[in-house]
């Protein structure tokens, strides 16, 4: 089953390539590789297990299913609205892609495919659970509200987007139209 590609677009592409920083910054296009975006902090076909994979000893080399993170503009706007703040930037959440036209992106089933005009393909590896790091970054930008970090984690649950693997590594460009294929 394929959802219409007419109104699903890439509104932002980002990479988090600053040592020690969670925050990503905007780029105009990216040449994907197997493993994600070279230089990004989540790049790699494999990566060291962390707190999200407690079944393996910390640091064990395991398959990387968190290569590319995607945010839905509609979901982020709703979270900002409920938090009573003007906006949340995709960069603050360390996102790699910001898309428009999938209002419930986070609820898409695992294995849903995202197909791009270049032939690139991403595959949904599941919901990106909100963490306090992203919350802290939101709060840092609204320092007057001291409870924002924890409020973000709560309000963003189920709306913080997804993580994907690169299934076919080609280019993604700003304003690309995306075709969604349900599994």
Q: Residues binding its own copies: what is the number (CB under 8 A)? A: 28
Of 114 and 152, which CB lies nearer to its own copies in the complex structure? 114
167 CB-near residues (< 8 Å, 6+ apart): 113, 121, 122, 123
Residue 182 as a binder of its own copies (CB under 8 A): the answer is no
| Strands annotated E in the chain | 2-3, 9-15, 25-27, 29-31, 46-48, 61-63, 68-72, 97-100, 113-115, 121-127, 162-168, 171-173, 179-181
Residue 26 as a binder of its own copies (CB under 8 A): the answer is no
Among 29, 46, 84, 158, binds its own copies (CB under 8 A): 46
End-to-end CA distance of the chain: 8
Minimum distance, C-beta of residue 61 to its own copies, in the bound complex (Å) = 8
Minimum distance, C-beta of residue 139 to its own copies, in the bound complex (Å) = 30
User: Which residues of this protein are in contact with its own copies, per CB under 8 A?
Assistant: 34, 45-46, 49, 55-57, 60-63, 65, 109-111, 113, 115, 119, 121, 123, 125-126, 165-168, 181, 183
């Amino acid at each position: 089953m394929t959802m219409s590609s007419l109104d699903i677009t890439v509104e932002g592409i980002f990479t988090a390539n600053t040592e020690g920083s969670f925050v990503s910054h905007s780029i105009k296009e990216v040449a994907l590789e197997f493993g994600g975006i070279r230089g990004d902090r989540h790049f790699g076909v494999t990566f060291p297990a962390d707190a999200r994979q407690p079944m393996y000893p910390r640091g064990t080399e395991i398959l990387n299913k968190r290569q590319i993170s995607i945010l839905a503009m509609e979901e982020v706007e709703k979270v900002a609205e409920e938090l009573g703040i003007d906006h949340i930037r995709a960069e603050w959440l360390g996102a790699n892609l910001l898309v428009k036209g999938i209002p419930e992106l986070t609820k898409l089933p695992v294995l849903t495919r995202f197909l791009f005009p270049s032939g690139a393909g991403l595959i949904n590896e599941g919901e990106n659970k909100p963490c306090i790091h992203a919350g802290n970054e939101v709060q840092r930008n609204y320092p007057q509200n001291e409870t924002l970090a924890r409020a973000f984690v709560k309000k963003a649950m189920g709306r913080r987007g997804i993580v994907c693997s690169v299934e076919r590594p080609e280019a993604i460009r700003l304003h690309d139209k995306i075709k969604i294929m349900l599994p």
